[in-house]
Amino acid sequence: MRYLGLLFLLLFSACSIKEYAQTKTKIIIIKSPQIKFADLGYVRNTNKAIELELFMAGKSIKKITINNLICVDDGCMTKGGFNEDYLVSSYPSDILQHILLGLPIYDAKNIQKNEDGYIQKIKDENVDIKYKVTNKQIFFKDKKNKIIFKIKELN
């Protein structure tokens, strides 16, 4: 019984992040088989955690928290489990947090740096990705799996 309580505490503490070092309001577009969204959102982060809160007409409609696990309205799951349920199972487990923070994906494979960011094009039997990061925008498109993330600075 003592171990059950400890397990319960660990599972629910993984999703409880209290204070974020940065909060940025962004225009966010997400199109995947499971999520369709286009409006304002907050991207909050610390060194160890990220939270994406999506708003529609000024009301919070979805919150995704990334720490050791990814927590959504339905509960917490592994990063690989999230990819399988919401994105594509063949994606690297850290792809969502890398996209939200504008970090290189797939271990910086095929990265081409330019004056205001970089672009990556990754194509194999599972994906056909164009990923572009600039000072003002993050754009991720997987043609093969019909997934788009567009995160723009609010100016």
Reference 16, options 95, 73, 80, 71; nearest CA is 71
pLDDT higher than threshold 70 for residue 83: yes
Return the biggest CA–CA distance within the chain.
Answer: 58
Q: Can you tell me the mean pLDDT for 53-68?
A: 88
| Domain at 2-144+147-151, CATH from 3.40.50, 2.50.20, 1.10.150, 2.60.40 | 2.50.20
**Region 18-28: what's the mean pLDDT?**
76
The runs of H, that is alpha helices, within 35-148 are 79-86, 95-101
In angstroms, the first-to-last Cα distance of the chain is: 53
- Percent of the chain residues past pLDDT 70, beyond the cut: 86
Q: How confident is the model at residue 21 (pLDDT cuts 50, 70, 90)?
A: low
Q: How far apart are CA 120 and CA 131, in angstroms?
A: 5
Q: Return the pLDDT at 20.
A: 61
Does the structure show a pLDDT above 60 at 2? no
Which tens digits make up the pLDDT trace of 111-135? 999 999 999 999 999 999 999 999 9
Q: Residue 80 in contact with residue 69, Cβ under 8 Å?
A: no
Confidence of residue 41 (pLDDT cuts 50, 70, 90): very high
Contacts of 39 (CB under 8 A, 6+ apart): 27, 28, 54, 55, 56, 57
- Decide: 105 and 92 in contact? Cβ < 8 Å: yes
